Amino acid sequence: MRVLVIAQYFPPDMGGGATRAYNMAKGLSLAGCDVTVVTAFPHYPTGNIPTKYRRKLLAIENDGRIRVIRTFVPPVASEGFAKRILLFASFVFSSLSALPIVRKTDVIWASNPNIIAMIPSLMYKRISSCPVVQNVDDLWPESLFDLGMNSKSLTAKLGEFIAKVTYTFASAITPISPGYVTVLTQKYNVKPNKVSVVPAGVDLAMFSGAKNSGSKNGKFRVLYIGAFSPAYDFEQIFQAAKILANSEEIEFVIQGGGELALSLKSKVEETKLNNIKVIEKIVSRQEVVKELYNADALILPLNGIGSIEMGISSKLYEYQAAGKPIICCSNGQPARYVSETKSGIVVKPGDHEAIVKAVITLRANSEFARKMGENGHNYVELHVSIEAVGLKLKKIFEHLLKRSE
């Protein structure tokens, strides 16, 4: 089966969108599919495009058995509404430049957080006359409403119209979370038999060679690693660190990059806390695994706003794969997932005192913490490996192809 993946974000880009696109592409490849990915030049979140892609319209490379065609986007940081729209629009047009290069395709999978990837996918569909499956990483434009967009504005109405059109023309829809299904079927009137939940998955092979050591400096390390995105409330970590300021045995580490980097570093200087570090450093996927293993607990500091609570971050699966206990700040789907898999402690978003209590509990009860980490690892190994989700997605494609025949 020849599968074309359209994904604006793809490693080495940071963030859940890139991770999910890679996991699914590799999962499909392991399931025996011939996979081609059309993606943008690496750019997320900083806008720093590697030298080898500059002054080019596209580049062709291979990632294992996956053929990757990268197309132009401007060197713009993904911050603010206007810059994001510029990047989205740039990829819509530049991705079409790969049309003469893409081989015959049996099915197209439109990936990444926003629905914009569906627009070039429909163009490719016209050429290949094949089904298009719309992935839903984030509800869009609903996630923009959560971040401040006026839901009654003209831009919002246009976004909802585009969403309606793309969901209508998709042959099938694969949301990453069961929390999205109600919105798709009730707000956008998508037929339930058109929707199949496919988790983002995790590449367990990345976790097989690294050493699970815990903190190297003798302190109990609580780590967040990933994009510095408005979807997260890092203030609650600072408040927890403030309460624990006199404890020399506990430290918080926030590592990654993105639009909140400057404010986070300023916060460290302002508070003068010695038990919290903000490291603006984007590292490879392999180095992320090492950092996860060098922590004692992993934190997901969600802000608890709207549609964000309906999704399940791929970061949770990576946290579980590392076999570490999770402190999950959530009151929605992520909280239910962590509770059901018994892989961490759930606290309400913004409740920094509960974070403190969770940290103290995990540090004082090493066996309790170890068991939570083990529960999480065992769950993802059985249910959400990239091999498992790749096979599930392949079966959806096979059903669509049989139906079209």
Superfamily in which the 2-201+385-404 domain is placed by CATH: Glycogen Phosphorylase B; (3.40.50.2000)
Q: Domain map of the chain by residue range?
A: 2-201+385-404, 205-383
How many residues comprise the chain? 405
Structure tokens that stand for 317 in this block: 């699966």
Q: Tell me, what's the pLDDT at 302?
A: 95
pLDDT at 333 over 80: yes
Closest Cα partner for 175 from 405, 363, 396?
Answer: 396
Written out in words, the top-level CATH class of the domain with range 205-383 is alpha beta
pLDDT in tens, 240-294: 999 999 988 999 999 998 889 999 999 999 999 999 999 999 888 889 999 999 9
CA dihedral 17, 19, 22, 23 (to 10 degrees): -120
Q: Tell me, what's the pLDDT at 376?
A: 97
> Identical fold at 2-201+385-404 and 205-383?
yes
Mean pLDDT lowest among 33-37, 233-237, 301-305, 335-339: 301-305
pLDDT in tens, 165-214: 889 999 999 999 999 999 999 999 999 999 999 999 999 999 986 666 66
CA distance 279 to 271: 16
Q: Tell me, what's the pLDDT at 122?
A: 87
C-alpha distance from residue 112 to each of 135, 143, 246, 300 (Å): 7, 13, 43, 20
| Opening angle at CA 385, ends 193 and 303, nearest 5 | 75
